[in-house]
A and B are shown apart, each in its own frame.
Chain A
Amino acid sequence: MESLTKRKKVVEQGAMNFWERMYLPAIVQGMGITFSHLFKKKVTIAFPEVKRDFAQNYRGLHQLKRDEEGRERCTACGLCALSCPAEAITMTAAERKKGEEHLYREEKYAAVYEIDMLRCIFCGFCEEACPKEAIYLDSGEFVVANYERPNFIYGKDKLLQPYEKRGTTNGARL
């Protein structure tokens, strides 16, 4: 059968000649190859000091987004929890009081918003389900290791986008 790439190389498996049976030339050749590797660029990334760049669409740790004025976008509608195949998301809704308009964008907000990182499979369905563009898996962080199971339940303290004053940076992405 003709090969598709024409790069196929048929290996000859005949009897070895004396030169090949001596074995030493092959060893010298091999040692040359290994020696050349001493000077090659090392592929190791020294992790804590150097971090590998994420791909643009890499799904890392979730982030609860704020709007242009720094208000939380989430309205605790529960669509993300509903869409979550791993049932990792839970939340408690609360009503916005007077004087909290600068904190929450809509009249309803999530008082408690928790994701169990041991359940989460980072599929990104929650960000697709969200009608308010409030949750994205684009924080560029990992879920770091921990010794205790309760510590893997991430609340709003870890998930909420850090609040930045308007004008300093592009506070809320999007």
Chain B
Amino acid sequence: MDTAFIIEKLVLISIVFGISLLTAMYSTLFERKIAGFFQDRLGPNRAGPFGILQPLADGVKLFMKEEIVPTNANKFLFVIGPSMAMLTACMSSALIPWGQNLEIFGRTVSLQATDVNIGILYIFGVVSLGVYGIMIGGWASNNKFALLGAIRAASQNISYEIAMGLSIIALLMVTGTLSVGEIAAQQHGMSWNIFYQPLGFLIFLVCAFAECNRTPFDLPECEAELVGGFHTEFSSMKLGFYLFSEYINMFVSSAVMATLYFGGYNFPGMDALAEMGTSQNVITLIGVAAMFAKTFFFIFFFMWVRWTIPRFRYDQLMKLGWNILIPLAIANIVVTGIVIVLKG
């Protein structure tokens, strides 16, 4: 392991980290803009041209707010909660392959921070840890509404993780590998997994919404019933971390969906460009752009759904998870298995 390798990985990790934070930051503005447009309004447009300084203003405002820790709250866990949410949100982006290899100074640089051969398992592990941030924060607040929100978050995430895992199993049967990098590479030449696993993708999509606590499954922070849900008692940047981690989660799950089902960095016409003699680096960069375009489309999709579908009732949410999505996912596995055997 030479120094260049460490530097290369450090730079890559910093860039990925910076990009995910930046994307999350501007997702907050984008969300409000989109919300405005969907409701025939203009959205925030006062801070800078088109409101592009709005996230900065929001950040400064959150930092300036008084930091309140409730008297009977567990101080240690109260701090751990939002930190945990933020940490787990940032961790999973290390596995996303943002592009093919780049040739810089005679070195081949992989645009995936690390290609673990159990990549998907790692992502699932980290994502399911995310609920601990919410649970710990909600429990430590010593507030019944926060606790109710935390319980909802926990049971919701556990329920939907099963369906999500089952939908991924069908995908793994098709791809035959757990490595995210390999799955992305296999989808070269428009053989995107969405064409082989449309139902699996649909289940994965619904579960991703539930895992990110996004509308229509945002019951953990259901304002109408639970004041603010699990973050009722949080103020200042601790609240900011919770809200921010939600947007990072959204970014990461968009990237995961783009990688697993929509070809990742592959784009139509990739081989044609190579035959025309375009250098590999240019193709890689276009691939990175394609990857980000797909990711941003899914972020837009998250927001689009948020401003279209009203929130589920809690029993409907559980019914959808256990009675519909899990049987569907199992049926998907069976059908996929039969097709694989028949095709030999």
* B202 to A, closest residue via Cβ: A24
Distance, CA A35 to CA B307, complexed state (A): 10
The answer to the question of B38 belonging to the interface, with a C-beta cut-off of 8 Å to chain A, is yes
Expressed in whole angstroms, the minimum distance between the Cβ of A16 and any Cβ of chain B is: 14
Distance, CA A64 to CA B304, complexed state (A): 53
Instruction: List, in ascending order, chain B residues with CB within 8 A of A40's CB.
Output: 40
Expressed in whole angstroms, the minimum distance between the Cβ of B319 and any Cβ of chain A is: 12
**Top 3 closest pairs, chain A to chain B, by CB:** A44-B42, A34-B308, A30-B308
Distance, CA A31 to CA B305, complexed state (A): 7
Expressed in whole angstroms, the minimum distance between the Cβ of B322 and any Cβ of chain A is: 16
Expressed in whole angstroms, the minimum distance between the Cβ of B30 and any Cβ of chain A is: 13
Main secondary structure of the interface of B (DSSP, over half): loop
Find out whether the CB atom of B309 lies under 8 angstroms from the CB atom of A42.
Answer: no
Expressed in whole angstroms, the minimum distance between the Cβ of B2 and any Cβ of chain A is: 51
Within 8 A of A (CB), among B292-316: 304-305, 307-309
Instruction: List, in ascending order, chain B residues with CB within 8 A of A30's CB.
Output: 308-309
Expressed in whole angstroms, the minimum distance between the Cβ of B19 and any Cβ of chain A is: 26
User: CB-defined interface of A1-44 with B at 8 Å, one 1/0 digit per residue?
Assistant: 00000000000000000000000000100110111011011111
The answer to the question of B41 belonging to the interface, with a C-beta cut-off of 8 Å to chain A, is yes
- How many residues in A have their beta carbons less than 8 Å from beta carbons of B? 14
Instruction: List, in ascending order, chain B residues with CB within 8 A of A33's CB.
Output: 308
The answer to the question of A174 belonging to the interface, with a C-beta cut-off of 8 Å to chain B, is no
Q: Report the contact-size class of chain B (Cβ under 8 Å from the partner).
A: 10 to 19
Expressed in whole angstroms, the minimum distance between the Cβ of A38 and any Cβ of chain B is: 5
Find out whether the CB atom of A35 lies under 8 angstroms from the CB atom of B304.
Answer: yes
| Chain B positions near chain A (C-beta within 8 angstroms) | 36-42, 45, 304-305, 307-309
Tally of contacts, chain A with chain B, CB under 8 A: 33
Instruction: List, in ascending order, chain A residues with CB within 8 A of B41's CB.
Output: 42-44
Find out whether the CB atom of B38 lies under 8 angstroms from the CB atom of A42.
Answer: no
The answer to the question of A46 belonging to the interface, with a C-beta cut-off of 8 Å to chain B, is yes
* B309 to A, closest residue via Cβ: A27
Instruction: List, in ascending order, chain B residues with CB within 8 A of A42's CB.
Output: 36-37, 40-42
Pick the contact of B38 from A27, A37, A43, A46 — CB < 8 Å?
A37
Expressed in whole angstroms, the minimum distance between the Cβ of B76 and any Cβ of chain A is: 43
Pick the contact of B37 from A27, A31, A38, A46 — CB < 8 Å?
A38
User: CB-defined interface of A133-153 with B at 8 Å, one 1/0 digit per residue?
Assistant: 000000000000000000000
Known: A27-B309, A30-B309. A46 touches B304 (CB 8 A): no
Instruction: List, in ascending order, chain A residues with CB within 8 A of B45's CB.
Output: 46
Instruction: List, in ascending order, chain B residues with CB within 8 A of A41's CB.
Output: 40
Distance, CA A139 to CA B183, complexed state (A): 70
Expressed in whole angstroms, the minimum distance between the Cβ of B325 and any Cβ of chain A is: 12
User: CB-defined interface of A103-133 with B at 8 Å, one 1/0 digit per residue?
Assistant: 0000000000000000000000000000000
Find out whether the CB atom of B307 lies under 8 angstroms from the CB atom of A34.
Answer: yes
